[in-house]
Amino acid sequence: MQLKITTWNINSVRLRIDLVAKFIKAVRPDVLCLQETKCPDDAFPRKRFRRLGYEHIALNGQKGYHGVAVLARLPFESFNVQSYCGKSDCRHISTMLGERAGLRDPITLHNFYVPAGGDLPDPEINPKFAHKLAFLDEMQVDKTLRCGRDGRAILVGDLNVAPLEHDVWSHKQMLRIVSHTPIECGKLNAVQTTGNWFDALRHFVPEPAKLYTWWSYRAPDWAAADKGRRLDHIWVAPALADRLTGIKVLRDSRGWARPSDHVPVTATLDI
């Protein structure tokens, strides 16, 4: 059985629902994980997604900010929401795919939207950055995010950190910029190492190749400047690593009309 999973920070699902529909019709993922939906659950465009073939919908949203969603062609066994840093700010949702989806061995899927952290990389004067660091610390000690030898789990989302040297357009110039500071990179790497997660994207596109999933709105010509960052990630448990068959970063979608600043990232597994 092939399983195709996409993660995409859509930056307002209602504003960009036509772009989502365009992507779905072209790529047809089995599971679509969205971040920054900016939409309360009762206003989520369920009917549109169901017409597109996504009958199974798990939501954790609020008005105007943040929000995550998992949409699937396959039925869930269950879904769960976890809060971090004592805030109910809609940054996580997990679902389990199992027998009802045709899987003999269940798979748990975590979808995250890690805080961006603001502009100043100093937790003493920037509470947004302090929140981001605390959020990563809590992820690192969260035992539900640890993969045992035979555990079957996938973690995706906008983790808002570009952890490797070639995940940014200029390692030297980005060291003092939020998303690539040494403290953030160290904390995200600690989450990955402690949880025993396998980086699917860098498995297929190893360094020193550049790899980006985000390009700023501030660039007048994002494609020509190409000052990107890899903020969106797909990690899998070791038991699923050898089941990965490919990844796709849809760079072209950054050039669509009224796009998100992030592009969809898709992994395919034979399970």
DSSP secondary structure letters along 240-262: HHTTEEEEEE-GGGGGSSS--SB
Q: In terms of DSSP bridges, do strands 2-9 and 31-35 run parallel, antiparallel, or are they unpaired? A: parallel
Domain that holds residue 15: 2-270
Whether 101 has a pLDDT exceeding 90, the answer reads: yes
pLDDT for the residue 122: 98
Instruction: Reply yes or no on whether the pLDDT at 201 is more than 90.
Output: yes
Residue 143 has pLDDT above 90, yes or no: yes
What's the rounded mean pLDDT across residues 196-206?
Answer: 98
Residue closest to 176 by CA, chosen among 185, 187, 167: 185
pLDDT of residue 211: 98
Average pLDDT over residues 84-100: 97
Is the preceding omega at residue 182 within 30 degrees of 0, hence cis?
no
Give the pLDDT confidence of 51-71 residue by residue, as tens digits.
999 999 999 999 999 999 999
The reported pLDDT for the residue numbered 82 is 96
Average pLDDT, the chain: 97
**220: CATH:** 3.60.10.10
Residue 5's pLDDT is 98
Instruction: Taking residues 246-270, report their average pLDDT.
Output: 98
Number of domains in the chain: 1
Residues 6+ apart with CB under 8 A from 102: 1, 74
149 confidence band (pLDDT: 50, 70, 90): confident
**β-strand 265-270 against 2-9: which pairing, if any?**
antiparallel
DSSP strand E in 31-86: where? Answer: 31-35, 56-60, 68-72, 78-80
**220 pLDDT tier (thresholds 50, 70, 90):** confident
